[in-house]
A and B are shown apart, each in its own frame.
Chain A
Amino acid sequence: MSTPDRRQLLHASAGGAAALFLAPSFELLHPAIVGAPLTLAVIGAGRQGRAILGELATIPEATVVAVCDTDDSRLQSAVRRAQGLKGYASHKELLEKEPGIAAVVIATPTHLHRAIALDCIAAGKHVYCETPLAHTVEDTAAIAAAAKGSSKVFAGGYQGRSNPVYSLARSFFKAGTLRQLSHLRAQDHKKTSWRTSGSTPERDKELNWHLDGDISLGLAGEKGSHQLDVFHHFLGRYPVSVRGEGELRLHKDGRTVADTILLDLRFDDGLRANYSSTLCNSYEGRYELIGGEMALIKLGWTHGWMFKEADAPTQGWEVYANRQQYHNDSGITLIADATKLAAQGKLTEGVGLPYTSLYYALADFVKAASEGKAPACSASEAARSTVVGILANQAVKSGSEVAIDPALLESL
């Protein structure tokens, strides 16, 4: 890094609490995949299925050959968007007529995962299954057991485990930068009806499964489990109980799931994780916080920061840090490999991830399946966070505390 570059970087480094910007190494940022292209099919062409198709189309080592959806208009829409894609109305038909497919990505409604995942595993496919894995503990355990009995790769869709920003933050966490943990907090706030409009009103009920309290895991499971998994991943342990509350504040359209929830999860050492999710307001969006004696890590999907306490020791890499202003806190933004980035003139152009979080998750799966390696999110890890999500949803529905049995999680 030349002197002027460094001066430029440190220009805004006035005092205050320190927010270290966390960015991963160049190698992590540019996932290289070797081996033959992997042929895939995507099962489920709803919003997530379409997003997955879009990302897979940009991964050179992946070739999507087929897509499957029970809704014909969605299926045709997906087939239209990608050239040469074959469409099937059921996963059974797909497995029968496309025996050459090596891997599948399952992005159907949660309560339909079990049958599809088990059939795909039995057919000898590598499987990437969106998370939560299932809507009941029994289904989750069945998927986990089948995955463990398979010689193929099974990856769960908790993206925090493959996201390079999260991996880098975790390395700071594991190095003890925070010291004694104080609290965990996460939120997902977005103003949206969370509703899907089908081609006919009759199709609406089927497509809006996540608004049906009988089969949906609600905000706690469908959104919360993704963020709670980040805590599980960082800490390497799970909460032992969860309390929850939920209200229908805004979207009174006949749905039977809350549009605003709060969770309070307790770990065995007394550490607490608070989680808030609402569909009524977008302020501050989605993030996870991990607070400790010496610093707090804030993770925001494509970005990560560290806010250091004034009495925290200064570390060598801080000279390469950018700084950002957060309301009353000004701080450093840190980018790993800052020297290399600065030499290429790329440091001041924006410091977010070069690929989307979903891209990293899918690229990790493609790499794992191609090379026969373990994926970033294993079946057991996905199953455990799914079960925490299921129990958290039970807590929201009952308004009372629900125990999370460590033996149950261990068995998955």
Chain B
Amino acid sequence: MDVRSQDAHGLEGLRAERGVLRLATRAMGTRFELVLACEDEPRARAAGEEALERIEQCDARYSVFTSSSLIARANRDASERPVKLDPELFELLQRCQSLCAESDGAFDVAIGPLMRALGFRGQRIDAPRGSSSGSFELDATTRSVRFTRPDTQLDLGSIAKGHALDLAAAVLRERGVDRALLHGGTSSVIALGTPPDHAEGWRVRIGPDGAFEACLRDSALSVSAPRGRTADFGGHTIGHILDPRTGRPVPLGLRAAVVAPSAEAADAWSTAALVLHARGRPLHLHRPADQSWLIEDEGVEPQFWGSRGSFAPHSGLQASHR
């Protein structure tokens, strides 16, 4: 998925308009971009930069690739002793535990060893034995995390972008920005208010040639597709979305789009929805009531759960997604 700035109807068109500012930063191995409607450019730029700085801070604290990150610290030491966390990460991990339970283990941040075994996190390691879920515990009194299995590694790859977007959006709101669109790594997007010229909301296309678009207004969208990142495993091309229970990659042809009140929830559930679909689970048992899901599979009619109106046939664009 991509908010394609080159698209004639896409964000590039917005830049030419007066009172619209675009900012971007590189974080979490990808590019975060922010479009905001503004009257006072220096103030809007300052607010936008602070929002992007919040995303950079998330990257510095949650990346498995940065040795000084809090997550790297936990992965290094939490199997030997409890590691004290800041309130933000502690609460995020609490929510991750809830998500894991609600999704029947389809979402699991303790998926680190599996990701590494399949070659998605640098040097390959041997695959872990058995399930990877439920292998860390949180202690609220000491605000610490401790691994209950020595091979546990946390990997926030399926939630960090959404979480960072929510924090960045909160910074914008605190600074008085009420019309903005932020996307991260072209797979998660959050909308504040509406664009200056579209009262109904920010229209975002799902997939480069996708048949659907979402109209966002103070809501978020996340799209997960195994094709987004692939690796070669034993001569086969596999996608980066795995069932944490079995380690099995979900089929490459799948794509899930989730519209939710927060980018964090959309990010986490778009991954979980794919895994649950691949397991053949009835998705209505798991979908939170305030979310809308779209599952696309090659050669199969698209399936919708929740508000069908969240996804409309693709038309003219504000921003397009690949």
Contact = CB atoms under 8 A, between A and B. Distances in A.
Interface of A: 47, 51, 54, 57-60, 73, 77, 81-83, 192-193, 195-199, 201, 204, 208, 253-254, 302, 346, 348-356, 359
Contact of A354 (B44, B76, B84): B76
A355 B73 contact: yes
B282 interface: no
Contact of B87 (A83, A197, A352): A83
Contact of A356 (B44, B60, B123): B60
B216 interface: no
Interface stretch (B64-72, B254-262, B309-317): B64-72
B70 A58 contact: yes
- What is the interface of chain B mostly: helix, strand, loop, or mixed? helix
**Chain B contact residues (Cβ within 8 angstroms of A): what range?**
20 to 34
Which of B40, B42, B44, B122 gathers most chain A CB within 10 Å? B42
B181 to A, nearest CB: 18
B178 interface: no
Nearest to A302: B68
Interface string B264-284: 000000000000000000000
20 contacts: A54-B61, A54-B86, A58-B84, A58-B86, A60-B84, A82-B87, A193-B45, A193-B46, A195-B49, A197-B44, A198-B175, A199-B174, A204-B46, A349-B122, A350-B66, A354-B67, A354-B68, A354-B72, A354-B73, A356-B60
A178 to B, nearest CB: 27
B176 A196 contact: no
Contacts of B45: 193, 195
Interface of B: 40-47, 49-50, 53, 57, 60-61, 65-68, 70, 72-73, 76, 84-88, 122-123, 143, 174-176
A348 B84 CA distance: 26
Contacts of B53: 47
B176 A204 contact: no
B67 A58 contact: no
Given A47-B53, A195-B49, A197-B43, A355 B174 contact: no
Given A77-B174, A193-B49, A348 B123 contact: yes
B85 A350 contact: no
Contacts of A254: 42
Contacts of A54: 57, 61, 86, 88
